[in-house]
Amino acid sequence: MDRQVRQALIIEDYQAAAETFKELLEMLGCEANYVMAGAEAPQALSQRDYDVVFMDLNLPDISGIALVKQLRTLAAGRMPKFVAVSGYAEAELGKEASDLFDFYLEKPLDMNNLERILQSF
Protein backbone atom coordinates (compact mmCIF):
# COMPACT_ATOMS: atom_id res chain seq x y z
CA MET A 1 0.00 0.00 0.00
CA ASP A 2 1.38 3.39 -1.04
CA ARG A 3 -0.64 5.61 1.20
CA GLN A 4 1.45 7.31 3.84
CA VAL A 5 -1.36 8.18 6.20
CA ARG A 6 -3.25 5.26 7.63
CA GLN A 7 -6.91 5.74 8.39
CA ALA A 8 -7.50 4.05 11.71
CA LEU A 9 -10.71 3.34 13.58
CA ILE A 10 -10.56 2.49 17.27
CA ILE A 11 -13.45 0.63 18.92
CA GLU A 12 -12.94 1.00 22.65
CA ASP A 13 -15.54 1.57 25.35
CA TYR A 14 -13.23 3.22 27.86
CA GLN A 15 -12.84 6.84 26.84
CA ALA A 16 -9.45 7.48 28.44
CA ALA A 17 -8.04 4.47 26.59
CA ALA A 18 -9.66 5.48 23.30
CA GLU A 19 -8.37 9.05 23.48
CA THR A 20 -4.86 8.03 24.45
CA PHE A 21 -4.71 5.41 21.72
CA LYS A 22 -5.97 7.97 19.18
CA GLU A 23 -3.27 10.42 20.26
CA LEU A 24 -0.64 7.72 19.96
CA LEU A 25 -1.78 6.65 16.50
CA GLU A 26 -1.76 10.26 15.35
CA MET A 27 1.81 10.59 16.55
CA LEU A 28 2.60 7.55 14.44
CA GLY A 29 1.20 9.29 11.37
CA CYS A 30 -2.33 7.90 11.32
CA GLU A 31 -5.61 9.73 11.08
CA ALA A 32 -7.60 8.15 13.85
CA ASN A 33 -11.18 8.19 15.06
CA TYR A 34 -12.84 6.23 17.78
CA VAL A 35 -16.25 4.93 18.70
CA MET A 36 -17.14 3.72 22.16
CA ALA A 37 -19.69 1.01 21.41
CA GLY A 38 -19.88 -1.89 19.03
CA ALA A 39 -23.24 -0.60 17.81
CA GLU A 40 -21.57 2.57 16.48
CA ALA A 41 -18.91 0.71 14.54
CA PRO A 42 -20.86 -0.27 11.38
CA GLN A 43 -21.84 3.33 10.70
CA ALA A 44 -18.33 4.60 11.37
CA LEU A 45 -16.92 2.00 9.01
CA SER A 46 -19.40 2.95 6.29
CA GLN A 47 -18.40 6.61 6.47
CA ARG A 48 -14.72 6.24 5.65
CA ASP A 49 -12.35 3.83 3.97
CA TYR A 50 -10.41 2.69 6.99
CA ASP A 51 -7.11 0.89 6.55
CA VAL A 52 -7.15 -0.60 9.99
CA VAL A 53 -9.64 -1.20 12.77
CA PHE A 54 -8.35 -1.62 16.32
CA MET A 55 -10.99 -3.39 18.34
CA ASP A 56 -11.15 -3.90 22.07
CA LEU A 57 -12.58 -7.39 22.49
CA ASN A 58 -14.26 -6.64 25.77
CA LEU A 59 -17.07 -4.34 24.67
CA PRO A 60 -20.17 -4.00 26.83
CA ASP A 61 -22.77 -4.27 24.06
CA ILE A 62 -21.39 -7.01 21.82
CA SER A 63 -18.58 -9.54 21.91
CA GLY A 64 -15.55 -8.66 19.80
CA ILE A 65 -15.95 -11.92 17.91
CA ALA A 66 -19.57 -11.20 16.94
CA LEU A 67 -18.65 -7.65 15.99
CA VAL A 68 -15.72 -8.53 13.74
CA LYS A 69 -17.91 -11.05 11.89
CA GLN A 70 -20.49 -8.33 11.35
CA LEU A 71 -17.92 -5.76 10.23
CA ARG A 72 -16.24 -8.17 7.83
CA THR A 73 -19.60 -8.71 6.15
CA LEU A 74 -20.26 -4.97 5.92
CA ALA A 75 -16.81 -4.03 4.64
CA ALA A 76 -17.45 -6.00 1.51
CA GLY A 77 -15.26 -3.82 -0.72
CA ARG A 78 -11.85 -2.80 0.50
CA MET A 79 -11.32 -4.78 3.64
CA PRO A 80 -9.49 -3.03 6.48
CA LYS A 81 -7.10 -4.95 8.65
CA PHE A 82 -8.74 -5.96 11.90
CA VAL A 83 -6.59 -5.83 15.00
CA ALA A 84 -7.82 -7.39 18.23
CA VAL A 85 -6.72 -5.37 21.25
CA SER A 86 -7.07 -7.11 24.56
CA GLY A 87 -5.69 -7.56 28.02
CA TYR A 88 -6.29 -11.28 27.59
CA ALA A 89 -3.54 -13.41 26.19
CA GLU A 90 -4.17 -14.49 22.60
CA ALA A 91 -4.39 -18.16 23.58
CA GLU A 92 -7.19 -17.38 26.06
CA LEU A 93 -9.37 -16.00 23.30
CA GLY A 94 -9.58 -19.24 21.38
CA LYS A 95 -8.91 -20.24 17.80
CA GLU A 96 -12.03 -18.60 16.38
CA ALA A 97 -10.88 -15.17 17.58
CA SER A 98 -7.38 -15.76 16.22
CA ASP A 99 -8.81 -16.72 12.82
CA LEU A 100 -11.09 -13.70 12.58
CA PHE A 101 -8.46 -11.05 13.24
CA ASP A 102 -5.46 -10.15 11.10
CA PHE A 103 -3.37 -9.12 14.08
CA TYR A 104 -3.46 -9.34 17.82
CA LEU A 105 -2.20 -6.60 20.12
CA GLU A 106 -1.92 -7.43 23.78
CA LYS A 107 -2.37 -4.76 26.44
CA PRO A 108 -0.33 -3.04 27.76
CA LEU A 109 0.42 -1.99 24.21
CA ASP A 110 3.96 -2.44 23.04
CA MET A 111 5.00 0.40 20.73
CA ASN A 112 7.25 -1.83 18.65
CA ASN A 113 4.39 -4.26 18.00
CA LEU A 114 2.05 -1.42 17.13
CA GLU A 115 4.53 0.12 14.69
CA ARG A 116 5.24 -3.32 13.19
CA ILE A 117 1.53 -3.82 12.53
CA LEU A 118 1.16 -0.40 10.93
CA GLN A 119 4.16 -1.03 8.69
CA SER A 120 3.09 -4.50 7.64
CA PHE A 121 0.35 -3.60 5.16
Partner 1 sequence: MTIQQQEWLVAGIKHEIFMRIFPTLRHGLVGPISIARMSASIVRRLLSKGESSKAALGEPVERIDQQLAEAVAGIRALQAWEPEASGLAIPAEILRQGIALMTAPLALRDIKMDYVPSDIQDLEEVRQQPFLYAWLALLCYFEDQLNEPATLRLEQKEPRSVCVEVTRPFYDVNQTKGRAKAHARIIDKFALEAVANAGGFRLKFGQEWASFSWT
Q: How far apart are CA 97 and CA 65, in angstroms?
A: 6
Is 96 an interacting residue with respect to partner 1 (CB under 8 A)?
Answer: yes
Is 116 an interacting residue with respect to partner 1 (CB under 8 A)?
Answer: no
Per CB under 8 A, contacts with partner 1 among 30-49 are: none
Q: How far apart are CA 14 and CA 112, in angstroms?
A: 23
| Contact assessment for residue 101 and residue 68, using Cβ atoms and an 8 Å cutoff | yes
Return the residue of 5, 23, 47, 74 that touches partner 1, per CB under 8 A. 23
At its nearest, how many Å lie between partner 1 and the CB of residue 49? 25
* DSSP letters spanning 33-91: EEESSGGGHHHHHHHS--SEEEEES--SSS-HHHHHHHHHHH--SSPPEEEEEESS-HH
Main-chain phi, psi angles of 25, to 5 degrees = -65, -40
Is 108 an interacting residue with respect to partner 1 (CB under 8 A)?
Answer: yes
Is 76 an interacting residue with respect to partner 1 (CB under 8 A)?
Answer: no
Can you name the residues that pair with 52 across neighbouring β-strands? 8, 81
Stretch that binds partner 1, among 3-11, 34-42, 76-84, 90-98 (CB under 8 A): 90-98
At its nearest, how many Å lie between partner 1 and the CB of residue 47? 25
Is 17 an interacting residue with respect to partner 1 (CB under 8 A)?
Answer: yes
Give whichever of 27 and 39 is closer to partner 1, judged by the CB atom: 27
